[in-house]
Amino acid sequence: MYRPLRRLGLAACLWACAMGAAAAADADYPARPVRMVVPYVVGGSTDLLGRQFAQRLSTVLGQQVFVENQGGAGSTIGTATVARAQPDGYTIGLLDTAFAINPSLYAKLPYDSLTDFDFLSVIATATGVLVVNAKRVKARTLQELVAEAKARPDQLSFASAGSGTVVHLHGETFKTAAGIKLLHVPYKGAGPAIADLLGGQVDMMFNLPVLVAPQVKSGVLAPIAVTGDRRSPMFPDTPSFAEAGYPGVNAVSLWVVAAPKGLPAAVHDKLVAAIGQAMAGPEMQARLAENSFERTVVPYPQSVDFVREQMAKFAAAVKASGATVN
């Protein structure tokens, strides 16, 4: 009659040993290199930020954090890899604005954007600047541009890197806020769009300040306003949309470090703290500013609300634009 008790005792002992081993492993985290998935091919703003951040995070954690690029399908392939990974802290992802846009753009995603991830921390944001071709457009202020657009409905055009991209949705948000009609011209990537803007084939475009600063300096492009409620350090004389009377044009590009849902508490807390340390200091801030990133550290749990808010803003823009992928 003692055999069931023996078995029960043995099971309890094995469970206790397993729990003890797991706790010890969590305390020793990280014991091997950490993979950080960037859901894009090499190059581009997210890859650049990811490599800068991975280098700093490696130093803080005392283990290598290596970047693994998995591009394709509007960033959803790499993002799905993060969602499906073991929640042990050895796979994290650097997700960007597309992550906030995609739930409204795609009819179906290979993951649930809100329940399949631990949003460890937002690490950076970036404003967009609206620039016009200085020869094609006479306006030099937002009020002048709105007046010109109202006088010529659907005649002024704005370029984007493709339907549903953040550049496109900034334009749609502006149209809705100002009550104007602009012609959207989508391109396959930012490069061709900028080229046609410089060449005068289109009138205006939203972009990262660093990507248009040389052309603004040369006088080919003229800055009109920056998204959000603060001016860009690169264009200190250019007002924000909020200053100019359009506070609704305030969605920003964002970058958030995420992990598959269900991290052990000790690992989760260690990563959140390490991310904050990696982003600290004037050197990191200067490196970010050089590429139009603004250090915006929003750790868990505030990070969850931040991501939700941006999703809601872009959902409204997607609805207004009618953009869809499938």
d(CA 190, CA 162): 8
Q: What is the mean pLDDT of residues 86-100?
A: 97
pLDDT of residue 21: 45
Residue 9: the pLDDT is 56
Best CA proximity match to 205, nearest among 223, 230, 228: 223
Distance separating alpha carbons of residues 2 and 10, to the nearest angstrom:
12
Does 189 score more than 90 pLDDT?
no
Domains present along the chain, CATH in parentheses: 33-126+252-321 (3.40.190.150), 129-226 (3.40.190.10)
Host H or E run for residue 223: strand 221-226
Q: Please determine, for residue 19, whether its predicted confidence score (pLDDT) is greater than 80.
A: no
Distances (CA, A) of 245 to 132, 175, 227, 242: 19, 14, 12, 5
pLDDT tens figures, 40-49: 989 888 999 9
Q: pLDDT per residue over 213-258, tens digit each? A: 999 999 999 999 999 888 998 999 999 999 999 999 988 899 999 9
Higher pLDDT, 228 or 21: 228
> By C-alpha distance, which of 49, 37, 43 is closest to 75?
37
Structure confidence at residue 18 (pLDDT):
43
In the structure encoding, which two tokens stand for residue 144, read together? 């002048």
* Cα–Cα–Cα angle for 156, 159, 160, rounded to 5 degrees: 145
pLDDT beyond 90 at 8: no
- CA diameter of the chain: 95
Is residue 2 predicted with pLDDT exceeding 80? no
Residue identified by tokens 């970010």 is 288
The sheet carrying 129-133 orders its strands as 183-186, 157-160, 204-207, 129-133, 221-226
Rounded to two decimals, what is the model's pTM?
Answer: 0.86
Tell me the pLDDT tens digit for each residue of 117-170.
Answer: 999 999 999 999 999 999 999 999 999 999 999 999 999 999 998 888 999 999
- Per-residue confidence band for 4, with pLDDT thresholds at 50, 70 and 90: low
Which of the pair, 182 or 322, is modelled with greater confidence?
Answer: 182
Per-chain mean pLDDT for the chain: 91
pLDDT at 44: 85
Q: Is the predicted pLDDT of residue 17 greater than 50, yes or no?
A: no
